Every structure is written in structure tokens, then in C-alpha cells.
Amino acid sequence: GDSVTQMEGPVTLSEEAFLTINCTYTATGYPSLFWYVQYPGEGLQLLLKATKADDKGSNKGFEATYRKETTSFHLEKGSVQVSDSAVYFCALSDPNAGNQFYFGTGTSLTVIP
């Protein structure tokens, strides 16, 4: 079945450091891939997405590239800010499964000044 595996946390970085959060997936079809972010006390917000192989999703300085050959969708940001502190979830939507969403376990990021 479909699944998402993402890097265990928590991750603590200094401001302006480079961020990578790894995500790999297993899917029966050709899924769309997403990164969602959850701030304390809030629901999940879509950060970026990619719908086909080699697509790059980007938003607010974050980027992730859909790599079919390695079944990966790693999240990167060149210079993190304190305001980026949150929990990040990698997810997939599989059209072979009625576009049901599968989420990873989440990676908590804390950015210190």
C-alpha cells in the first residue's frame, strides 16, 4: 500500500542555516506530493506541492523536487528563520486510491536566534 516515510526529528537549527528534511514515498500509481506545515495550535497548511516527476514545488523560500527515480521529495530551504519553527509533514495523494492522502509522521523544526 501507499506510505510516506520522513526524517525523524526533532531538528534544531540556528537562524540562517540550511534546512533539509528528507521524505521518501511508496505508491501504486503516480501520486502528487505535498509538504504541509503545522504551527502550534493550528491545522495543517499547504506549503508546496508537485504533481509529476521532475516538478519543483516552491513557496516562501522552501523548495522540493519530485524525484521518481529515487521516490523522494526532500524539503529544502537555504536560510531558515525563527518564524519557520513548526512541524512539517510530507504527504502524497494517489489517484489510484481515490486521491486519498497519506501523511508522514512529521518533523518538528525549531529555529533558534
Q: Which stretch binds another protein (CB under 8 A): 14-22, 42-50, 56-64, 68-76?
A: 42-50
Show the binding pattern over residues 1-40: x = contacts another protein (CB under 8 A), - = does not: ---x---------------------------x-x-x----
Q: Assess contact for 84 and 109: CB atoms under 8 A.
A: yes
Compute how many residues bind another protein; rule: CB under 8 A.
Answer: 25
From candidates 49, 57, 62, 111, binder to another protein by CB under 8 A: 49
Query: Which part of the chain contacts another protein (CB under 8 A), choosing from 20-28, 67-75, 77-85, 100-108?
Result: 100-108
Range in contact with another protein (rule: CB under 8 A) among 15-23, 44-52, 56-64, 72-80: 44-52
Q: Name all contacts of 33-36 with Cβ < 8 Å and 24+ positions apart.
A: 33/57, 33/64, 33/66, 33/73, 33/90, 33/91, 33/92, 34/90, 34/91, 34/92, 34/93, 34/101, 35/62, 35/64, 35/73, 35/75, 35/88, 35/89, 35/90, 35/91, 36/88, 36/89, 36/91, 36/103
Contact residues for another protein (CB under 8 A)?
4, 32, 34, 36, 41-46, 49, 51, 89, 91, 93, 95, 98-106
